[in-house]
Structure 1
């Protein structure tokens, strides 16, 4: 909470060019905290059936949750719906795990068996992650086409990218816009295309630049 307050205060001062003694600074801080309080309540209500829900989880816009299985959400997770609603569907017997400091904005996650999202992962609008080819179909059909998905820490999944069943995306990997990923992605690889192919690997400097960006967003 202290980190969140400090980040909000610093952002207000930076945007307005004011010192910490300016009277408007604390008025705007109260206004922002009221907004964060509403987003906290929105997240708590939408995720009320989750067996694990971490601290400082916020939801902006409409968060659509269909929960029949187990949903585990870490701390400082943001569910934004700025373009399209973020949708979480966890079917009976399935598990969806979302690690700390993730930023999910208008993405679709459908778990029939198991989806694990690591720490500090960024999911862009209209990205889709589904561990089954049979969305909401009969149990027998689902079982024949289901395989767990794992997204590594600090991975980035771009707009309209699709992660297919059985895929593991490595730590710090970047999945390009509109890519369809049907095979595992190594750590720090950049993939794009249909089906997705490795374009290159991030150099150390690029890794440092992208590492922790989701955490920085969730700290605001």
Structure 2
């Protein structure tokens, strides 16, 4: 089995990432790549890995869905009492990664994390399907539960309590990662991949090429 794993390899030959064609602004570059991932109809192009570090120094990752981005940063929503919520409360820095396999592309983003405004969280919460809104109440995210029956019972309880208009739970809302570093990776032949990094220095973005 180990030999078979070691023999797995692929030649990346779909595209290139050259400085002459790349945007000077990383948000513009991300928007272009994200739009191309949408146009390619990839499965869940909005899925991203979020990496945080706990007070004990142990890193952890999980996949969440991006819910918005602009010059202010990247936004997702979650339970603030979850493991990632607790870790971000203790250490408000994180890393994100998008992996668009079919396009042979990876985007990595690092920066400080802050909560979005109450108004932003309220507006997004209201836009969710009813089952998802009730789910935010029903799930004590990251806590140990004896069985799935707990979730089903909680969903029924809160459905009966709130009906069609559940309010946003006070422990649920958005996070925004404010980037100070972006990296765009394009797979290339012979493992000579293209890597462009944008790092924030004195209020402006410095673009530089990294060795693969």
Whose helix proportion is higher, 1 or 2? Answer: 2
TM-score, structure 1 as length reference:
0.21
Larger Rg: 2
TM-score, structure 2 as length reference:
0.21
Whose strand proportion is higher, 1 or 2? Answer: 2
Larger relative contact order (Cα-Cα within 8 Å, sequence gap ≥ 6): 2
